[in-house]
Amino acid sequence: MTRLLESLLPFLNHTAAIGEAVPEGIYPRSVHLIANSIVAMARTNDGRKLAIVAAGEKRLPAGFEGEIVKLSGNECGMISPLSAANAAALRRHFSWCAPRSLRRERTSIGCGDRLGLATAGQLRAVAKFRLAPVLAQQSMRELSLTGRTFRNVVDDATFMVFMEDYRDGYGADGDHLKNLRDIDVALDAGMPMITLDLSEVMNAAAGEWSDAEVGRAFAELPAAERQQALAGYADQNYVIDGMNIAISAADARRCAVMYGRALRFAVEVHEHLKKRRGEEFDLEISIDETTTPTLPSHHLYIARELMLRGVTVTSIAPRFVGEFQKAVDYIGDVDEFARQFKLHAAIARAFGNYKISVHSGSDKFAVYPTVGKETCGYLHLKTAGTSWLVAVEVIARHEPALYRDMHRFAEAHFADMLKLYHITADLSRIPPLDRLRDDQLPALIHDHPDARQLLHITYGPILTGELRERFFAAMRRWEEAYAEALEKHFDKHFSLLGVPRR
């Protein structure tokens, strides 16, 4: 460790310029100057560490913790773990290491990172395109399955942003949150974006009720809500970009019954975010966790009501026609998706000019051209699990024995994970592992939909079970291969969306 720290002294003593001749073991873009000290990210046998050198112990930058090492002359150094305290110190010294609101950014991509390892490869792709990444994005379900916290997720992104010297700003998203308690945990961790999942406060069942049942429930709503629903929507015909959306009186009553409580909760959350963060937050409204697609008339009702109630939303996520299943391309009629998506995008422009958000959006290559075109790039796309699958493919390519163990472990836990994820994988369609050569395994996880879905939803047991240490040790060995594979994978996503290059 002493030798590694001493290799940074030429930068401290100005005999080497930052960015030139970075010594072995130091990540090339991670060397940064703080007053009379150098802070860099180092690769060690025990994983990544912060390496800090200064012209004396009293000149070590404030806030960092770690083992202090005396060096030649009066200099000293510190080998620091990637701890919460050191992540906080980086954010204090380098403001661009902290997540921020992306409300004013045209195109944003929720990259997601279940491992705390994906950001470097994601940023290599992001740097080529005119978009803003949400690098720290996890849901409560993902946190519970991986044993991480929102603080872990933000800190991991902080270290990787510092390592890659990415200064253009990134977001952090507390994904699919349903109550103020969880929202506060995400906010306390420094997450500026909250994806508010309204599924538990929506009355989705009312979508199937008879008009008489809806009428009885409507009569129980507050008088002001009944009056607003009928005056603003009953027997109205909205014309948007030459397209008609007709809303009958029965439709207006149904929307009020289905969404009244959810809209009141959205107002409460919005006011809470303003108290906590002023105007520096991103509120996404999620109405996609339903079994049926969001009707354009319902989308219009929700968007207009949010606007009238003073709720500033950065994005809304409807439930689109067709299937947006995990790990595979779009399932459904692409032409019908394009017809309906065009209308959803027009509603977003007309009632608040917010971004349309596409959830479970990774690998939906068939509809990306439509999504990019109809939104004119004013969109948010969520890609949570695809970076995990790229890691699985890297393991399949470079450590086939480990992949075979992961695959069998996934099969053993598949039934349990099906309780949490909606997919249509059929394991009987996956070729038996003992009939596949090692060189056929990467194609299995890259191209076979059922194998991809199997590994996609079983990440929790793999990352917290008996294979955890072997998996992360392998990822340390193949970190550059992982970064290269991620860069290529996200290049494809951004290109098909039509995101302009820098």
User: Residues with catalytic annotation?
Assistant: 175, 284
Q: Is 286 left (phi over 0), alpha (psi -120 to 50) or beta?
A: beta
- The string over 407-444, giving b where at least 16 C-beta atoms fall within 10 Å of a residue's C-beta and e elsewhere, is bebbeebbeebeeebebebeeeebeebeebeeeebbeb
> Which residue, chain included where needed, has tokens 């073991």?
25
Tokens linked to 159: 């270290």
Tokens linked to 271: 């006011």
3-state secondary structure 377-444: CCEEEECCCHHHHHHHHHHHHHCHHHHHHHHHHHHHHHHHHCCCCCCCCCHHHCCCHHHCCHHHHHHH
Task: Decide: residue 352, CB within 10 A, 0-12 exposed, 13-18 middle, 19+ buried.
Answer: middle
- What is the spatial distance between Cα 204 and Cα 287, in angstroms, rounded to a whole number? 10
Helix (H) or strand (E) holding 170: none
- What is the spatial distance between Cα 420 and Cα 432, in angstroms, rounded to a whole number? 25
Tokens linked to 43: 């690769």
Distances from the Cα of 95 to the Cα of 88, 142, 168, angstroms:
10, 28, 11
- R_g (Cα) of the chain, nearest Å: 25
Q: List, in sequence order, every residue forming a beta bridge with 79; answer none if it has no partner.
A: 51, 67
Greatest pairwise CA separation for the chain in angstroms? 86
Helix and strand counts by DSSP (H, E) for the chain: 20, 15
- The string over 30-64, giving b where at least 16 C-beta atoms fall within 10 Å of a residue's C-beta and e elsewhere, is bbbebeebbbbbbbeeeebbbbbbbbeeebbbeeb
Coarse DSSP helix, strand, coil percentages of the chain, rounded to the nearest 5 percent: 50, 15, 35
Helix (H) or strand (E) holding 95: none
3-state secondary structure 114-133: CCCCCHHHHHHHHCCECCEE
